[in-house]
């Protein structure tokens, strides 16, 4: 375990952020603010100079170092949260205005890209 920690410390020196993906949501934390990382009571607790960040181990998908904060998927909306998403202007990728997506694909809804599954 100590060897793993030493390897991670040496590896992290080239990076500026620690990113944790939990429940398909990414959280980037600047390494300069991190004081301690502990594993306790089924949680990963990252103590920073700005307070603690806790992540449930059973919901954690991955943890990695990066040069900059990630700009990937920040969260995924559930169907219940997106039911009213298609109110307003909706276009297919050919630029045709449609009332509501009829099949899986990528659409432009109110100026934002939306993927239907």
Query: What pTM was computed for the model?
Result: 0.48
Put residue 51 in one of left, alpha, beta given phi > 0 → left and psi -120 to 50 → alpha.
left
- The CATH architecture annotation of domain 2-66 reads Roll (2.30)
Query: Which of 9-18, 45-54, 85-94 is predicted most confidently?
Result: 45-54
- Mean pLDDT on 26-50: 88
Q: Where are the domains of the chain?
A: 2-66, 77-117
Q: What is the pLDDT of residues 62-88, one digit of tens each?
A: 888 877 776 555 555 555 445 556 667
CB neighbours (10 Å) of residue 7?
10
Please give the DSSP secondary-structure letter assigned to residue 10.
Answer: H
Among 22-26, 47-51, 64-68, which is the least confidently predicted range? 64-68
Model confidence at 3, pLDDT cuts 50, 70, 90, reads very low
């Amino acid at each position: 375990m100590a060897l793993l920690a030493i390897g991670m410390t040496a590896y992290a020196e080239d990076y500026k952020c620690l990113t944790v993906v939990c429940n398909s949501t990414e959280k980037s934390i600047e390494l300069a603010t991190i004081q301690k990382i502990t594993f306790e009571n089924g949680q990963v607790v990252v103590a920073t100079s700005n307070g603690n960040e806790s992540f449930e181990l059973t919901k954690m998908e991955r943890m990695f170092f990066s040069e900059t904060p990630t700009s990937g998927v920040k969260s995924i909306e559930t169907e219940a949260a997106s039911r009213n998403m298609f109110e307003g202007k909706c276009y297919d990728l050919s630029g045709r205005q449609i009332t509501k997506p009829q099949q899986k694909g990528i659409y432009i809804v109110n100026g934002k890209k939306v993927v239907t599954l």
